[in-house]
């Protein structure tokens, strides 16, 4: 959605007014929520955990595992997707099964992986990578399978080798769809990493959220929650910047 300047100012004003009103209402003692902290208490809790290192550790763990899982999913998804998509027969046999697997809820595999590799770091990566593999794989397979036959003929006429054909023709043509898959995988991967930490792995920002909640520290819970939101936003913005570069480059070579 495009946001005008006036709307942006209004949205800042809106947030400030809502948070301010909340602070005032609670301070004045009109209502009290024992389990929802005021904005100022959340800020205080945030600077507290930021100062004593309870913030950086979990955030770094989550980011690191997110990146490893995402890279794994991206590479495996693109390679497998190309192998499947470029082979017409293979694609026609696998298509229905892959579409079916797409609708399996990703968190359902958490217990399955836990069963096999226990409550370990490896499980966290396996779960997140497996869940975010599908968007990349399906989009890549679709992208490379719908390549214009004329383009392929042109490649053959130019006596391009298989690798050249792949790099010069197939990849650029499939790139927009692959990027869509990567973008879907990106948000899914972060969500699954944090979900896995909340459900099973006793590390990272997801676990920090759970432990603050079971220690009955609402302000700390909300401080972590805001951090999770910032993390998600930063990751998305970073990818969008990267995407613009890669996509533009892809178009200029094709």
Binding residues for other proteins, per CB under 8 A?
A: 1-4, 6-8, 10-11, 14-15, 35-36, 92-94, 96-97, 100-101, 103-112, 114-116, 187, 190-191, 194-195, 198-200, 206, 209-210, 212-213, 216, 218, 221-222, 225, 228-229, 232-233, 236
Angle at 251 between CA 173 and CA 139, to 5 degrees: 35
Instruction: Give me the least distance between CB of 242 and other proteins, in Å please.
Output: 18
Of 101 and 154, nearer to other proteins (C-beta) is 101
Residue 194 phi/psi, 5° resolution? -65, -40
Backbone conformation region of residue 148, classed left if phi is above 0, alpha if psi is from -120 to 50, else beta: beta
Per the CB < 8 A criterion, the answer to whether 193 and 62 are in contact is: yes
Of 66 and 125, nearer to other proteins (C-beta) is 66
Of 46 and 170, nearer to other proteins (C-beta) is 46
Crossing angle of helices 171-199 and 109-117, in 10° steps, is 70
Residue 158 vs residues 79, 132, 149, 169: alpha-carbon distances, Å: 25, 37, 14, 12
Instruction: Give me the least distance between CB of 135 and other proteins, in Å please.
Output: 12
Per the CB < 8 A criterion, the answer to whether 130 and 71 are in contact is: no
Instruction: Give me the least distance between CB of 43 and other proteins, in Å please.
Output: 16
Instruction: Give me the least distance between CB of 245 and other proteins, in Å please.
Output: 22
Instruction: Give me the least distance between CB of 232 and other proteins, in Å please.
Output: 4
Residue 24 phi/psi, 5° resolution? -65, -45
Of 94 and 151, nearer to other proteins (C-beta) is 94
């Amino acid at each position: 959605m495009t946001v005008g300047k006036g709307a942006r100012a209004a949205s800042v004003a809106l947030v400030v007014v809502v948070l301010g009103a909340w602070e005032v209402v609670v301070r004045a003692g009109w209502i009290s929520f024992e389990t929802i902290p005021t904005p100022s208490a959340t800020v205080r809790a945030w600077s507290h955990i930021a100062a004593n290192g309870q913030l950086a550790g979990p955030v770094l763990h989550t980011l690191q595992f997110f990146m490893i899982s995402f890279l794994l999913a991206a590479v495996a998804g693109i390679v497998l997707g190309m192998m499947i998509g470029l082979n017409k027969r293979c694609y026609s046999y696998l298509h229905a099964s892959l579409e079916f697997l797409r609708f399996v809820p990703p968190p359902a595999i958490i217990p399955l992986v836990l069963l096999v590799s226990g409550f370990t770091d490896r499980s966290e990566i396996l779960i997140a990578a497996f869940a975010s593999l599908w968007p990349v794989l399906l989009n890549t397979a679709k992208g490379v399978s719908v390549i214009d036959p004329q383009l392929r003929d042109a490649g053959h006429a130019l006596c391009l080798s298989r690798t050249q054909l792949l790099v010069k023709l197939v990849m650029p043509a499939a790139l927009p769809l692959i990027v869509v898959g990567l973008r879907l995988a990106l948000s899914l991967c972060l969500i699954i990493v944090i979900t896995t930490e909340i459900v099973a792995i006793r590390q990272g920002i997801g676990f920090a959220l759970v432990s603050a909640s079971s220690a009955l520290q609402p302000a700390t819970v909300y401080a972590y929650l805001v951090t999770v939101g910032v993390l998600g936003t930063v990751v998305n913005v970073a990818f969008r910047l990267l995407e613009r570069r890669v996509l533009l480059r892809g178009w200029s070579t094709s």
